[in-house]
Amino acid sequence: MAGNRTFSMIKPDAVAAGNSGAILKMIEEAGFRIVALKKFKLSEERAGQFYEVHKERPFYNDLKKYMSSGFIMPMILEKENAVADFRKLIGATNPANAEDGTIRKLYAKSIEANAIHGSDSDENAAIEGNFFFSGLEQF
């Protein structure tokens, strides 16, 4: 139901560091149900499409390279108030500003390699989920 789902993606730094299991455990312990999940690599072009809203930003090229540098784990998550609660669980974009106990505080390496993505609105959660998963894969 609208408002109860968000989209997330464990980013290349966290997958490569072997932290995906610990991060999934935190997500489940926070009360999110994993609706859909996969693991693969994005091309630079697809990574650019995903972050198209940032295409005018100075870090856009670096971001595309980073997001296509290794395996990622996109997922759809379900919980009451999913978008806002998940943003709280992951913490601030820059891990230096992230609160204790958040995923980024524990696992992010830098403002760019910040371990995990979380949608910023219900509308974007639906767009981003559909970017990675077909309707048949969304239970």
Select from 16-24, 38-46, 75-83, 113-121 the region that touches ligand GTP (CB under 6 A). Answer: 113-121
Which helix (H) or strand (E) covers residue 44, if one does? helix 44-50
Report residue 101 as tokens: 């106990």
Q: Is 126 exposed, middle or buried (0-12, 13-18, 19+ CB in 10 A)?
A: middle
Report residue 21 as tokens: 């299991």
50 annotated as a binding-site residue: no
Among residues 20, 36, 64, 117, which is the contact residue for ligand GTP, using CB under 6 A? Answer: 117
22 DSSP 8-state letter: H
Check residue 89 for interaction with ligand GTP (CB under 6 A): no
114 annotated as a binding-site residue: yes
Sorted by sequence, the CB contacts under 8 Å of residue 112 that are 6+ apart come out as: 59, 62, 63, 66
* # residues near ligand GTP by CB under 6 A: 11
Q: Single out the catalytic residue among 117, 128, 129, 133.
A: 117
Among residues 49, 59, 130, 139, which is the contact residue for ligand GTP, using CB under 6 A? Answer: 59
Count the Cβ atoms, other than its own, within 10 Å of residue 113. 18
List contacts with ligand GTP (CB under 6 A).
54, 59, 62-63, 93, 111-112, 114, 117-118, 120
Q: Which residues define the annotated binding site for ATP? A: 11, 59, 87, 93, 104, 114
Q: List the catalytic residues.
A: 117
